[in-house]
Structure 1
């Protein structure tokens, strides 16, 4: 199926990519810290997960989201 003109790109924006990378790092670190029984760092990783969501939201509000004025979708 071809994408339409109104298709936001399924999250292919700087805001989405930044949020996902931060959150993926948080989950990975949290898993490692859980494995090594470091509860304080597990909770710090949970905090980083929240930070990732906030950063993605803030970047989207700043215009770097799929519908933002600073985002230019790539032609495929």
Structure 2
């Protein structure tokens, strides 16, 4: 994944950061036995996913054709022999 810059986009960082904050909020309220705060934190987790998806749809994510598809060794050798 490091070779394809997977997750190195503004959409990914923003979505994960919001989801992490929501996870921390939900965890804190779970320890304090406050169900309403727990569910509010879980809502923030879902919001993080939605924000990341919307930002990606706006063009702030990784393009679909950013890297070549994964090929097996045999497929790479066959492609190299043809070209």
TM over 0.5: yes
**Equivalent in the alignment of 1:53:** 49
Please tell me whether residue 62 in structure 1 is matched to residue 61 in structure 2.
no
Q: Which segments of 5 or more consecutive residues in structure 1 lack a partner in the other structure?
A: 69-76
**Equivalent in the alignment of 2:35:** 39
In 2, Cα distance between equivalents of 1:48 and 1:24:
9
**Equivalent in the alignment of 1:23:** 19
Q: Which has the higher contact order (CA 8 A, sep 6+)?
A: 1
Runs of 4 or more, structure 1, over 2 Å off, are none
Scaled by the length of structure 2, what TM-score is found?
A: 0.71
Q: Which segments of 5 or more consecutive residues in structure 2 lack a partner in the other structure?
A: 65-83
CA RMSD of aligned residues (A): 1.6
Aligned partner (choices 7, 25, 30) of residue 11 of structure 1? 7
Higher Cα Rg: structure 1 or 2? 2
How many residues align? The count is 63
